[in-house]
């Protein structure tokens, strides 16, 4: 079985309930902070691989990185490191993370929500990130392409690190919808583009032109990266990569749901950005927000014809 069970009449499917949160989490691809290279998603991707290569338990990495991703949907780059540097105690910093998490976590499966909330806390990398993480963070995604047609170029392109981390997190969050264990989709998410460490992304159009060589090229380059990983981790990654071709088991369905949701939400982001208007900022988002000088700000804008 590869289909989705229908929702009861008059109710939204769980994927639809999760969609707004997934979109917010995906925005970490586009948020950066001073003092650290790359987007917040790329930073998490590099940290994830560093922790995995260092031998941390895969489940612990999956739940803690996913919990952090949910919290930063609203907190962005504000984490425990920033908060304790600013003078908050560890407990006060954790309270802030929990408030950020609680504000958006309502659509999550109740059991998963509690497990993720318990996994919130400081995150650190025990060593320098492995080379594969840096390469995938530097390797741009092709975006939407089709055979025989020129590509649609959107700026800035997301990186493979952005995409892989986001798919991994989505895989955890959608796992209960398809009765999957969340850990395997997370690991498959961060590992499913290992071949793109070397292979530049030409999208579906490029894959079609590679023809019969595509599978051999991907397998050769994927194995190249797996061979450089510690043995136990490489074996675990091979296990989850074997789930990729189909959608017959729950963990594969969770991964494929996460992958397609991220690819399409990315396109929606670019379409939304292209259609953004100043009225949305001023009216919907209250750019000139309430406060002691709001009236003066509004007078200035009116006088300037804005």
Confidence of residue 1 (pLDDT cuts 50, 70, 90): very low
**Is residue 289 scored above 90 in pLDDT?**
no
Can the peptide bond before residue 156 be classed as cis, meaning omega within 30 degrees of 0? yes
- pLDDT tens digit string along 229-288? 999 999 999 999 999 999 999 999 999 999 999 999 998 898 888 887 888 888 887 888
- pLDDT tens digit string along 20-52? 999 999 999 999 999 899 999 999 999 999 999
Segment 85-112 mean pLDDT: 98
Confidence of residue 149 (pLDDT cuts 50, 70, 90): confident
Q: How many CB atoms lie within 10 A of CB 68?
A: 26
User: What is the spatial distance between Cα 103 and Cα 113, in angstroms, rounded to a whole number?
Assistant: 12
**Is residue 142 scored above 80 in pLDDT?**
yes
| Residues 41, 161 contacting (CB under 8 angstroms) | yes
- What pLDDT is stored for residue 2 in this prediction? 52
- What pLDDT is stored for residue 86 in this prediction? 97
User: Average per-residue pLDDT in the chain?
Assistant: 93
Segment 103-110 mean pLDDT: 98
| Residues 17, 107 contacting (CB under 8 angstroms) | yes
Q: What is the pTM of this model?
A: 0.90
| Residues 178, 257 contacting (CB under 8 angstroms) | yes
Segment 55-67 mean pLDDT: 98
Cα torsion 266, 272, 278, 283: sign: negative
* Location of structure tokens 């700026």: 155
Task: Give, in degrees to the nearest 5, the angle at Cα 218 between 142 and 135.
Answer: 55
Residue with more model confidence, 3 or 295: 295
- What pLDDT is stored for residue 144 in this prediction? 81
Buried b / exposed e across 72-84, counting CB within 10 Å, b at 16+?
bbebebbbbeebe
| Residues 137, 152 contacting (CB under 8 angstroms) | no
Cβ-in-10-Å burial (0-12, 13-18, 19+) of 17 comes to: middle
Segment 288-301 mean pLDDT: 88
User: What is the spatial distance between Cα 256 and Cα 251, in angstroms, rounded to a whole number?
Assistant: 9
- What pLDDT is stored for residue 233 in this prediction? 98
- What pLDDT is stored for residue 274 in this prediction? 81
| Residues 67, 116 contacting (CB under 8 angstroms) | yes
**Is residue 178 scored above 50 in pLDDT?**
yes
| Residues 164, 28 contacting (CB under 8 angstroms) | no
**Is residue 146 scored above 80 in pLDDT?**
yes
Residue with more model confidence, 237 or 8: 237
Partners of 159 in beta bridges: 140
- The percentage of residues in the chain with a pLDDT greater than 90, rounded to a whole number, is 76
Confidence of residue 161 (pLDDT cuts 50, 70, 90): very high
Q: End-to-end alpha-carbon separation of the chain, Å?
A: 56
Confidence of residue 124 (pLDDT cuts 50, 70, 90): confident
């Amino acid at each position: 079985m590869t289909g989705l069970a229908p929702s009861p009449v008059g109710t939204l499917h769980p994927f639809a309930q999760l969609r707004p949160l997934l979109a917010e989490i995906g925005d970490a691809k586009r948020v950066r902070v001073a003092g650290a290279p790359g987007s917040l998603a790329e930073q998490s991707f590099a940290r994830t691989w560093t922790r995995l290569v260092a031998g941390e338990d895969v489940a612990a990495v999956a739940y803690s990185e996913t919990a952090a991703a949910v919290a930063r949907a609203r907190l962005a780059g504000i984490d425990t490191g920033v908060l304790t540097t600013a003078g908050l105690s560890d407990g006060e910093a954790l309270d802030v993370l929990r408030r950020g998490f609680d504000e958006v976590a309502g659509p999550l499966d109740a059991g998963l929500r509690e497990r993720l909330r318990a996994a919130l806390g400081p995150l650190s990398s025990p060593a320098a990130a492995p080379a594969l993480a840096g390469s995938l963070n530097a390797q741009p995604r092709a975006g939407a392409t089709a055979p025989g047609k020129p590509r649609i170029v959107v700026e800035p392109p997301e990186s493979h690190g952005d995409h892989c981390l986001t798919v991994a997190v989505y895989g955890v969050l959608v796992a209960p919808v398809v009765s999957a264990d969340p850990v395997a989709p997370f690991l498959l998410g961060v590992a499913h583009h290992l071949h793109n460490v070397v292979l530049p992304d030409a999208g579906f159009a490029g894959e079609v032109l590679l023809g019969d060589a595509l599978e051999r090229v991907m397998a050769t380059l994927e194995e190249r990266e797996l061979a450089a990983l510690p043995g136990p981790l490489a074996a675990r990654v091979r296990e989850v990569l074997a789930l990729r071709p189909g959608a017959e088991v729950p963990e594969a369905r969770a991964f494929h749901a996460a992958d397609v949701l991220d690819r399409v939400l990315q396109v929606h982001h670019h379409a939304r950005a292209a259609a953004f208007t100043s009225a949305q900022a001023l009216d919907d988002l209250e750019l000139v927000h309430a406060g002691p000088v709001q009236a003066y700000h509004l007078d200035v804008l009116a006088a300037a014809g804005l």
